[in-house]
Structure 1
Amino acid sequence: MSGSMWRGDAVDLDAYLTRVGFQGEVAPDLSTLRRLHTAHVGAIAFDNLDALLGRTAVPLDVDSVQDKIVRQGRGGWCLEQVVLMAAVLDRIGFTFTAFAGRTRIRTGDKFGPALHVALLVELDGERWLHDVSFGAHGLHEPILFAENARLDGDFSFDLLREPTGEHVLRFLRPEGPAELYGFTADVRYPSDFELLNHFCLTHPRSPFNHRMILQRTRPEVRHLLAGNVLAEIRPGEPATFRELGEDEVLSAPEEIFGITLEPGDVQTLRKTLAGP
């Protein structure tokens, strides 16, 4: 196995496939790509808990990310999940590049920092947007990277191109389309991820380091916990919201999002959420 920058040689593929519940053989084809995408987002939550636990130097090397997400049963945030997914795809034999997008759904800001990272996978002369780390509003399987592409199903998406040349991924909800992020296909590399990771962990404007954000995408329901507000998104229905009490918030990582935490981490989170 030649050592590419995506470190497919370092990934324990069998352990990863077990972690996400993937059944059957894998090959660098569209069927595998789709099934991997759905399995990953169903099993692995978006999880910003390290920032709340005071860990301001979360490593992005494949060994560390794999240990956390695969072996410890944790989730991970965007950059960690992309590092893991890229290593898995590299190991299987896919060809792809990474790009960075400017999140719009929480801010409506088309000009914020490009903090979200995802992949464009090349297959049979086409490219597919493969994004396993956007969370509760994100894709459950790849969408063709083409102008006016659509992904229809219980949860539907489309891909538009603006006059500026930016592509925009939209989540098509009953209450109206939601712009998730805008992006260009400019290639990003693992070295770029380190800068984004530092911003997300430490910058005062980061949306990820001052309140709990957990997200999980399953076929029947998508969950998003931001602070103490839990959103549930079901097929064909407007999202519902409810406030959780402190004990519910602390049990949510495991009970709702399938995240395994150490008892000491739960106690630290309780102190952090209680504030000074």
Structure 2
Amino acid sequence: MTDSVWQGGGVDLDAYLARVGYRGDVAADLSTLRGLHAAHVDAIAFDNLDALFGRTVVPLDLDSVQDKIVRQGRGGWCLEQVVLAAAVLDRIGFTFTAFAGRTRIRTGNKVGPALHVALCVELDGERWLYDVSFGAHGLHEPIRLAEDARLDGDWSFDLVREPSGEHVLRFLGPEGPAELYGFTLDVRHPSDFEILNHFCLTHPRSPFNHRMVLQRTRPEVRHLLAGSTLAELRPGRAAAFRELDKDELLSAPEEIFGITLEPGDVQALRKFLDGP
């Protein structure tokens, strides 16, 4: 195939499908789009650990991302996961663009930096929001990208359009709608990801470089670890919270989030938890 800016020609599709446990047919159709989305979020956690290990670079080239997430069994933060997901969709033959959103959950901030990146897939005359990396409150499958679209089920979502023109993705929980992020469809390119990556890794106001943030989205339960606080979400219930001690924090990546850490990474995490 002719390679594109999304590097579909360089993705190891068989290895990715094995990593996420996808066993269905693969084609540029809605069934595949839904199946890949669900499999990805079930298997691959949001993981900011590299930012805590004193590493000054989190590489976004496809080879590095595949090595980390597919071969090593790690998670990744949204920029890494979008690089991987985009390459997979490109390899299969989907048509899509990337955009950036401003996170609102827990902050309500409509004018903060647009740090979250997701994909808009065009298929059979419709557009679909394909977002595999928002974490515990995020989508489990694509939602049609249209005003007043809904995705109903154990985990429900909708999209609303504000007078400003921004789309807002909302999580419809038992306590009412929670705004996740607002976005426009201004096209972003992989070169834009590098700037966002640098901010997330180095800026003093980055939400990702001073505390552990791990998230996993599974059908029956979702987990979010922010600092030492673990939130557990189940369909139709209010979130449950508990504080983890140091030993629990050290084991949480593998035991709760399914993240495989090398011995050196375990030691780096132990050093971070011990503090300066």
Q: Give the drift of 1:271.
A: 1.3
Report the TM-score when normalising by structure 1.
Answer: 0.99
Query: d(CA) in 1 for partners of 2:88 and 2:264?
Result: 31
Q: Partner residue of 2:83?
A: 83
Q: Partner residue of 1:219?
A: 219
Query: d(CA) in 2 for partners of 1:16 and 1:225?
Result: 25
Q: Partner residue of 1:272?
A: 272
* Structure 1: runs of 5+ lacking an equivalent: none
Deviation per residue, 1:32-78 (Å, 9 max, x gap): 00000000000000000000011121110111100000000000000
Show the 5 A alignment for 1:92-111. 92-111=92-111
* Structure 2: runs of 5+ lacking an equivalent: none
Q: Partner residue of 2:17?
A: 17
Residue 32 of structure 2 corresponds to residue 32 of structure 1: yes
Deviation per residue, 1:63-121 (Å, 9 max, x gap): 11000000000000000000000000000000000000000003111000000000000
Residue 200 of structure 2 corresponds to residue 200 of structure 1: yes
Residue 195 of structure 1 aligns with an amino acid whose one-letter code is I
Secondary structure, aligned partner of 1:201: helix
Query: d(CA) in 2 for partners of 1:188 and 1:106?
Result: 25
Residue 151 of structure 1 aligns with an amino acid whose one-letter code is L
Residue 212 of structure 1 aligns with an amino acid whose one-letter code is M
Q: Give the drift of 1:147.
A: 0.2
Secondary structure, aligned partner of 1:83: helix
Residue 257 of structure 2 aligns with an amino acid whose one-letter code is F
Deviation per residue, 1:123-162 (Å, 9 max, x gap): 0000000000000000000000000000000000000000
Query: d(CA) in 1 for partners of 2:216 and 2:122?
Result: 26
Residue 131 of structure 2 corresponds to residue 131 of structure 1: yes
Query: d(CA) in 1 for partners of 2:209 and 2:6?
Result: 27
Secondary structure, aligned partner of 1:171: strand
Q: Partner residue of 2:241?
A: 241
Report the TM-score when normalising by structure 2.
Answer: 0.99
Q: Give the drift of 1:24.
A: 2.1
Query: d(CA) in 1 for partners of 2:208 and 2:106?
Result: 12
Q: Give the drift of 1:11.
A: 0.2
Residue 158 of structure 2 corresponds to residue 158 of structure 1: yes
Query: d(CA) in 1 for partners of 2:56 and 2:134?
Result: 21
Q: Give the drift of 1:25.
A: 1.5
Query: d(CA) in 1 for partners of 2:273 and 2:176?
Result: 34
Show the 5 A alignment for 1:180-191. 180-191=180-191
Residue 69 of structure 2 corresponds to residue 42 of structure 1: no
Residue 216 of structure 2 aligns with an amino acid whose one-letter code is R
Q: Partner residue of 1:57?
A: 57
Residue 203 of structure 2 aligns with an amino acid whose one-letter code is H
Q: Partner residue of 2:167?
A: 167
Secondary structure, aligned partner of 1:242: strand
Q: Partner residue of 1:117?
A: 117
| Superposed CA RMSD | 0.5
Secondary structure, aligned partner of 1:208: coil
Count of aligned pairs between the two proteins: 276
Query: d(CA) in 2 for partners of 1:55 and 1:267?
Result: 14
Query: d(CA) in 1 for partners of 2:150 and 2:15?
Result: 33
Secondary structure, aligned partner of 1:102: strand
